């Protein structure tokens, strides 16, 4: 008997900027993702687009033109749901317009119709590191309070347009990454001050609450969540200093879900802001809005665990302390520790803290996949990773965690956020494209395709 509920939302997740391509087609304006070359999560970006340079996100894997073929493959695996983002700048090319781009709206109408035709529920991220570039260049990104108005107009437009097609929404992808990736997460410069970053966070907290308000008014049966990036963080030693410092580091992430899930700034905020010399500017009614409209569920990504040591050098790319390795864990080819028990830990941690549904909207194994002599892709490490993490998730459900769904990150190979490359592949479906953009874009099933098909068919029993 499976511990997974009968309506468990098995599926896969991508992001517009890492999959769609067609970066300037049908009226789409550039987003901040379109000016990075080292991957949106790398923090490296150009001020403007150089037409002579190759940007991986500009074509990505051309999901924009291949979506019918790809959705048919997701349906063949038995997906119950599919997470992707709406590219905000397809709908409002600059972000500050009052009239939406009809061609952009029509694309997502067609995509959602294709998904629903196959019985697959869309799960939509409103901004997956995809703030329109003009809002960065001309307004300074989310540190400018005007972005609340622009984002609310975008949300109202898509809620009204896709009412009846989309009932699962989430606002900002991995909002807690404002700490380590302010450009990707809030269109705020990497060298922004703590004041600017936390002011931007406040604007996004208000925008999140307004989106929740609008969503429930326009689509009464919808669920709208917030979304965080959550590795499990272990103290490097049993030294109380390391334990305390690890708790403090954890709070730098859970601060975001505390505000959005519990509807108020946490009690530890005043001291944190005092120590960071941050004084937030708030409008009348902001705090009331946060309290009145908390998120319905907590979506999060989990890939790995990290170690933390008091006073250690914080690693931007992993969120742990540089130089610390966990001797009990194997790693992926990219050095990410493989920790299914850490996955069970974070599920229980969040269930205890929020007592609301959890949705794992990213979990996956990034690796180098090459065809064997028969042209097949034997990605057994991906199957092993998936099996162990789904087993851990089953344990977490048996522990009493209310988990509503699981969308594997990158069910089809897409551009890596951290590297901006194709070489780091997550897919059950291989895409013929290399780091230099060469390839036929041909789709091929890997060994893991049939594995995941069985997982879904058995509702998580056959792993």
Which two three-digit tokens encode residue 425?
A: 């592949």
Active-site residue (options: 174, 196, 241, 376): 174
In the complex, least distance from residue 136 CB atom to ligand BGP, rounded to whole angstroms = 18
Residue 19 CB contacts under 8 Å (≥ 6 apart), including other chains = 60, 61, 63, 84, 412, 414, 415
In the complex, least distance from residue 244 CB atom to ligand BGP, rounded to whole angstroms = 27
CA distance 259 to 441: 42
Q: What is the DSSP string of 410-459?
A: -SB----TTTS-SSSB--SEEE---TTS-S---EEE-HHHHHHHHHHHTT
CA distance 219 to 308: 42
Alpha helices, DSSP H only, in 327-379? 340-354
Which two three-digit tokens encode residue 332?
A: 């992926």
In the complex, least distance from residue 413 CB atom to ligand BGP, rounded to whole angstroms = 11
In the complex, least distance from residue 360 CB atom to ligand BGP, rounded to whole angstroms = 12
In the complex, least distance from residue 410 CB atom to ligand BGP, rounded to whole angstroms = 7
Name the burial class of residue 419, with classes exposed (0-12), middle (13-18) and buried (19+) by CB atoms within 10 angstroms of its CB: middle
Cα angle 386, 250, 142 (rounded to 5 degrees) comes to: 95
From residue 215, alpha-carbon distances to 188, 219, 296, 371 in Å are 26, 6, 11, 45
Question: Which among 22, 401, 32 has a CA at the least distance from the CA of 188?
Answer: 32
CA distance 265 to 356: 18
Residue identified by tokens 């919808």 is 222
Q: Is 283 helix (H, G, I), strand (E, B) or coil?
A: coil
Which two three-digit tokens encode residue 222?
A: 């919808």
Q: Which residue is nearest to ligand BGP (CB)?
A: 418
Residue 355 CB contacts under 8 Å (≥ 6 apart), including other chains = none
Active-site residue (options: 149, 362, 376, 421): 362
Q: Is 175 helix (H, G, I), strand (E, B) or coil?
A: helix
In the complex, least distance from residue 434 CB atom to ligand BGP, rounded to whole angstroms = 16
Footprint of ligand BGP on this chain (CB under 6 A)?
Answer: 15, 18, 41, 173-174, 229, 301, 362, 366, 409, 416-419, 424
Residue identified by tokens 């009614």 is 285
In the complex, least distance from residue 370 CB atom to ligand BGP, rounded to whole angstroms = 18
362 counts as catalytic: yes
130 counts as catalytic: no
Q: Which residue number, 29 or 39, has a Cβ lying nearer to ligand BGP?
A: 39
- Count of C-beta atoms within a 10 Å radius of residue 22: 18
In the complex, least distance from residue 51 CB atom to ligand BGP, rounded to whole angstroms = 26
Q: Which residue number, 79 or 426, has a Cβ lying nearer to ligand BGP?
A: 426
**Catalytically active residues, by annotation:** 174, 362
């Amino acid at each position: 008997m499976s511990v997974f509920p009968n309506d468990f939302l098995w599926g896969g997740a991508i992001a517009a900027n890492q999959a769609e391509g067609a970066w300037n087609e049908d009226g789409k304006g550039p987003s901040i993702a379109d000016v990075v070359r080292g991957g949106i999560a790398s923090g490296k970006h150009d001020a403007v687009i150089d037409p002579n340079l190759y940007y991986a996100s500009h074509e990505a894997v051309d999901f924009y033109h291949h979506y019918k073929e790809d959705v048919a493959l997701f349906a063949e695996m038995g997906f119950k749901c599919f997470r992707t983002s709406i590219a905000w700048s397809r709908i409002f090319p600059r972000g500050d317009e009052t009239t939406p781009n009809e061609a952009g709206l029509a694309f997502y109408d067609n995509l959602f119709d294709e998904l629903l035709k196959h019985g697959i529920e869309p799960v939509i991220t409103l901004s997956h590191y995809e703030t329109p570039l003009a809002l960065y260049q001309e307004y300074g990104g989310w540190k400018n309070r005007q972005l609340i108005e622009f984002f609310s107009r975008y949300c109202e437009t898509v809620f009204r347009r896709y009412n009846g097609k989309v009932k699962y929404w989430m606002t900002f992808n991995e909002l807690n990454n404002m700490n380590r990736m302010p450009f990707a997460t809030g269109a705020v410069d990497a060298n922004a001050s703590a004041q600017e970053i936390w002011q931007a966070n406040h604007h996004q907290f208000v925008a999140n609450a307004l989106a929740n308000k609008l969503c429930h008014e326009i689509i009464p049966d919808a669920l709208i969540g917030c979304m965080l990036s959550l590795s499990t963080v272990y103290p490097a030693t049993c030294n109380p200093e390391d334990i305390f410092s690890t708790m403090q580091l954890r709070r730098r992430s859970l601060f975001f879900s505390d505000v959005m899930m519990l509807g108020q700034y946490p009690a530890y905020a005043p001291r944190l802001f005092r120590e960071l010399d941050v004084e937030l500017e708030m409008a009348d009614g902001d705090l009331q809005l946060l309290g009145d409209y908390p998120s319905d569920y907590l979506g999060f990504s989990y890939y790995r665990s990290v170690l933390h040591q008091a006073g250690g050098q914080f690693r931007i790319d992993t969120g742990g302390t540089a130089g610390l390795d966990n001797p009990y864990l194997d790693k992926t080819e990219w050095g990410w520790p493989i920790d299914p028990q850490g996955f069970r830990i974070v599920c229980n941690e969040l269930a205890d803290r929020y007592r609301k549904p959890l949705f794992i909207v990213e979990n996956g194994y990034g690796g180098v996949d090459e065809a064997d002599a028969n042209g097949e892709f034997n990605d057994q490490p991906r199957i092993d990773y998936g099996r162990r993490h789904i087993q851990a998730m089953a344990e977490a459900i048996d522990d009493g965690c209310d988990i509503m769904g699981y969308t594997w990150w990158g069910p089809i190979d897409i551009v890596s956020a951290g590297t901006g490359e194709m070489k780091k592949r997550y897919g059950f479906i291989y895409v013929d494209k290399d780091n230099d953009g060469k390839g036929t874009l041909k789709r091929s099933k890997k060994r893991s395709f049939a594995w995941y098909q069985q997982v879904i068919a058995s509702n998580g029993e056959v792993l």
